[in-house]
Structure 1
Amino acid sequence: MDEVNGRLPKRDMETQSLKADILNPFVHRLELDTTYDKLKTAFLTVVLLPFRLAAITALVIMAWLLACLGLHGLTEEDLRRAPLQGWRRDMRIVICWMMRALFVCGGFHQLKVKGRKAPTKDAPVLALAPHSSFFDALPVVYLGGPSIVAKAETGRIPFFGKLINYTQPVYVWRDDPNSRQNTIKEIIERATSKEDWPQVMIFPEGTCTNRSCLITFKSGAFYPGVPVQPVCIRYPNKLDTVTWTWEGPGALKLLWLTLTQLNSSCEIEFLPVYKPNEAEKTDPKLYANNVRRLMAEALKIPVSDYTYDDCRIISKAHQLHIPHAPTIVEAHKLRSKLGLVTAKTEEELVQKKTKRFGDEVDLHEFARILRLDEREPTVQQLFKVHDRHDRGKIDLEEYLFTVLATANATSELDLISIAFDVIDTKGAKSLTLPALRKALRLSMHMPEDEIEETFHQISRDDSNGTVCFEDVIEVLSAKAEYTHLCTGGIEGKRKKTI
């Protein structure tokens, strides 16, 4: 029987738990599935889109001109030193009304608000989640233009950069090694200042997700130890044209499909102000986790231990065409917990190995090779992550290649080099035909007939011969589809975070 007393067998429960653990919040699929949707979109692209674009453009230009006027004579240092006063502060209200009109012109006729925004004295910091789109600017303008925490590059976006500057944002300079400390310091200063600063608004997730869960909150908004008002964002639309994630439709496609919808909805829910206890004041991570759990309960979605750094791993895996990106992130977390990342155990194995790891291994052998305890649940889970077909065995060379490629590769050339290192036993980067098949399958997903052609073109001998790394690269680079190997060029996907 598959169920006993209404309970799933332990193995099935573990499998379901594992699947939940590796839920990928960074992927969004959007397609017009029905003929009706396609015809409606085509019709509204011709009939409605031009008028909406004209109205939006006019409003952006007018808001930008007002922002230029309001910021005239002020330097970046002036904006950081003191809050805007007098007519400049009143101008921000006018600009926000213009931006709200912009969203109405774009089809956001239905903005539903639950709860009430707390005054600055009661909640100096607003924490908004989930962060899933550039359309999250709607809650920003509805809130009256609070000081946002944003990456510094956003201040240089044409037109919109000037509008963002008007909120007196706290900018994060990712290239500056001291940026994190400076950002936290500025948030603390504003949150605890007696001057009339706007509320500090932050998206604590730090990047866009598909709203399927709440990923790990960054601690920056919680370091001041002051009360925070959680704000939940929802987009209850039949067709989700707003979600902008690391893998999915680009900004232009989302903008086009959103502007060709007759109506788009957004919900903003203000939760009660969260006042930290003494333990949370001294432990920002605890504070952040407790606020996240509260927001997840209100949103009725799970929490996930994904972080912004996990986005970078997923993005890198996609850039390098390494399959099973969500699995790679889960495995990285488990390896970190087991100390394998810090010890660089897998790299050491590849450097010192005296025999091939070609044979598949079971859990016992896997744990023995990595010097782990097979009875440890984390070890068992790491093994299951890579046992994708539930056969009780995994390909150790594939495991080692995935670990080293994710950690060290920046190009397809690196992938091939790592595959040679993993599969070669003599350190000479010279492989037989069967070994070359596996190396190029792992690194390039190359068809077998093309691999054999490459091998024989180099060896001019039978399959008992070997070919070296440099000769393989030279032959592949001569082919049009692999010329980029000479430059190691893989163009990275643009990082998206606010």
Structure 2
Amino acid sequence: MFTAGGFHLVHVKGHPAHRVDAPILAVSPHSSFFDVLLIVVMGAPSIVAKGEVTKIPFFAKYIDYTQPVYVWREDPNSRQNTIQEIKNRATSKEDWPQIMIFPEGTCTNRSCLITFKPGAFYPGVPVQPVIIRYNNRIDSFTWTWDGPGALKMLWVTLCQFHNFCELEYLPVYTPSEEEKQDAKLFASNVRQVMADALGVPVADYTYDDCRLMHKAKLKNLPYQTGLIEFQKLRQRLGLNLKNVEEELLDQYADIAISDGQITLPDFARYLGIPESEPALVDLFKLYDKDNSNTIDFREYLVGYCQYAKPANNEDTLRCAFKLFDRGGKGRILLRDLIKALRASLDMTQEETERIFKQTDQDNKGYITYEDFEAHAKRKPEYAKIFLTYQESIKNGTRPRTAHLPPPGKKKAD
């Protein structure tokens, strides 16, 4: 099948280790659905794959043949279950196949190696790094979240007479005692070995960052920074997730009553961070798009809701309504609705005005959140606002409410 697709020969360098010497194979860079070719070349090792691959016609049966370990990303217990299964197989005396893992956890464009997930390294057993190269002049293989779709990539690849693929086995990496106790250190050191062999840099991006970058792109933010910088800067400032959202919204009720415009000194005071902190200045600039030296602090809080609860639009929308509700009376004016929907859903002023007019049929001059929700659910064109929320309830996978941090709250040492 792969021969018909132009992969007439896969060049193999190095020597594959026996399972006894290296129970786990760490393969990078993961950049394409064509990487499944390795399953054939490497003798059908067990793979760790996302559960969604079970829905792929035809290929799913071949993957099942390898006795895979599936990761179900919507299951909060799946991560721990996966790690435990990897440990059990890697340390088992039974004749399990080697476990093949793409430690990056997502497809990249091969220009660097992003942060390795530690799952393959928790067992603390020797790992054989394996690197992949696609050497065609025309790159028709790279399949990432921000690029051509799978069918287009497949078609362009089939149009090439020969597709060059190279597989290189690096020497087995045996962890030190320190690495056995620290899976992240183990993963980082293996990544560096592979990056050196590939001649590419490493980058501190993760699968979760790709999700956040996608969100930033949808919001028309510069997604090379955008929500990624938002997250990284918050981490540098020591602001992490805490279960105090309602309390925080109460503390910032005065901002909702006012126009929410604050300066850098105010921003520093609300977060309890020194004004001279460079990361605080960078975070402030993310929201000061017009270089006015002021930002709407409510937009920052809504942005945090999106970061903390990326899969739940209704919670983000409720957060926006609370923050833009002048006086805390449970109702919102048109000018504030425009700001709230722009901050939470990136909705245009014209669309917001149309929604407001259709919702405020009694011409009261204001609407409540319940008015807006009822109107949106009656209109098919706005159903997307609540689609994720309803699906999460239906599937029983609605995330726990993630809450905003209190001012000045720091990470525990």
Say if 1:127 and 1:204, in contact at 8 Å, map to a contact too.
yes
Matched, 1:200 2:68: no
- Is structure 2 residue 6 aligned with structure 1 residue 119? no
Residue 136 of structure 1 and its aligned partner are, at CA, apart by 0.5
Q: Does 1:440 align with 2:337?
A: no
Change (3 A) 1:483 1:194: closer
Distance 1:212 1:347, change over 3 A: farther
SS in 1 for 2:328: coil
Task: Give 1 or 2 for the bigger CA radius of gyration.
Answer: 1
Q: SS of the residue aligned with 2:2?
A: helix
CA apart distance, 1:461: 6.4
Q: 8 Å contact 1:346–1:400 — kept in the other structure? A: no
Q: Secondary structure at the match of 2:275?
A: coil
Which residue is 2:367 aligned to? 467
Counterpart-to-counterpart distance in 1, 2:289 and 2:134: 34
The correspondence for 1:406, drawn from 263, 286, 307, is 307
* Secondary structure of 2:130 counterpart: strand
CA contact (8 A) 1:473 1:485 kept: no
Q: Show the 5 A alignment for 1:262-341.
A: 262-314=161-213, 321-324=218-221, 325=223, 327-341=226-240
1:139 lines up with 2:47 in the alignment = no
Q: Distance in 2 between the 1:156 and 1:461 partners?
A: 50
Deviation at 1:207, TM superposition (A): 2.0
User: What aligned pairs does 1:80-479 form with structure 2 within 5 A after superposition?
Assistant: 102-109=1-8, 111-155=10-54, 157-174=56-73, 178-314=77-213, 321-324=218-221, 325=223, 327-343=226-242, 348-352=247-251, 353-356=253-256, 358-388=259-289, 392-408=293-309, 410=311, 414-455=315-356, 458=360, 465-473=365-373
Q: 1-side partners of 2:386 and 2:90: how far apart?
A: 52
Superimposed CA distance per residue, residues 360-393 of structure 1 (whole angstroms, 9 cap, x where no aligned partner): 4343221111122223343334334444566654
* Distance apart, 1:273 and its partner CA: 1.9
Residues 256 and 374 (structure 1 numbering): CA distance in 2 closer, same or farther, change over 3 Å? same
CA deviation string 1:448-469 (max 9, x = no partner): 344445545637769xx43333
Unaligned 5+ segments in structure 2 are 393-413
Change (3 A) 1:165 1:466: closer
The one-letter amino acid paired with 1:432 is L
Preserved CA contact (<8 Å) 2:241 2:308: no
Count of residue correspondences: 387
Deviations 1:410-432 (A, max 9, x none): 56555543322221232234233
Deviation for aligned residue 1:236: 3.2
Q: Pick which of 342-351 and 427-436 moved more.
A: 342-351
Tell me the amino acid that sits aligned with residue 243 of structure 1: T
Output the TM-score relative to the length of structure 2: 0.79
Corresponding letter in the other structure for 1:220: G
In structure 2, what is the Cα distance between the partners aligned to 1:184 and 1:456? 53
Corresponding residue SS for 2:148: coil
How far residue 177 of structure 1 moved from its aligned partner, in angstroms, is 5.2
Q: Is the 8 A contact 2:233 2:283 kept in 1?
A: yes
CA distance in 1: counterparts of 2:124 and 2:185, whole angstroms: 11
Q: Given that residues 255 and 323 in structure 2 are in contact (C-alpha distance below 8 angstroms), is that contact kept between their aligned partners in structure 1?
A: no
Q: What is the SS of the residue equivalent to 1:126?
A: strand
Distance across 2 between alignment mates of 1:294 and 1:317? 32
Unmatched runs of 5 consecutive residues or more in structure 1 = 1-101, 493-498
Q: By how many angstroms is 1:202 displaced?
A: 0.9
The answer on whether the counterparts of 1:477 and 1:484 sit within 8 Å (CA) in structure 2 is: no
TM-score where L is the length of structure 1: 0.67
Deviation, 1:288, is: 0.6
Q: Structure 1: how far apart are the matches of 2:388 and 2:51?
A: 29
* Partner amino acid, structure 1, of 2:219: I
1:126-178 C-alpha deviation (Å, 9 max, x unpaired): 11011122111122221111222223453564432332232233333556655
Taking structure 1 as reference, are residues 192 and 412 closer, same or farther at Cα in structure 2, changes over 3 Å only? closer
Shift of 1:477: 5.9
Output the CA distance in 1 between the equivalents of 2:350 and 2:92.
69
**Partner SS, residue 379 of structure 1:** helix
The alignment-based identity, stated in percent, is 53
SS in 2 for 1:340: coil
Alpha carbons of 1:125 and 1:460: their partners in 2 closer, same or farther (altered >3 Å)?
closer
How big is the shift at 1:286? Answer: 0.8
Determine helix, strand or coil for the equivalent of 1:210: coil
**Per the alignment, in what secondary structure is the counterpart of residue 303 of structure 1?**
coil
Task: Give the drift of 1:343.
Answer: 3.1
Would the alpha carbon gap of residues 107 and 444 (structure 1) be closer, same or farther in structure 2, given more than 3 Å must change? same
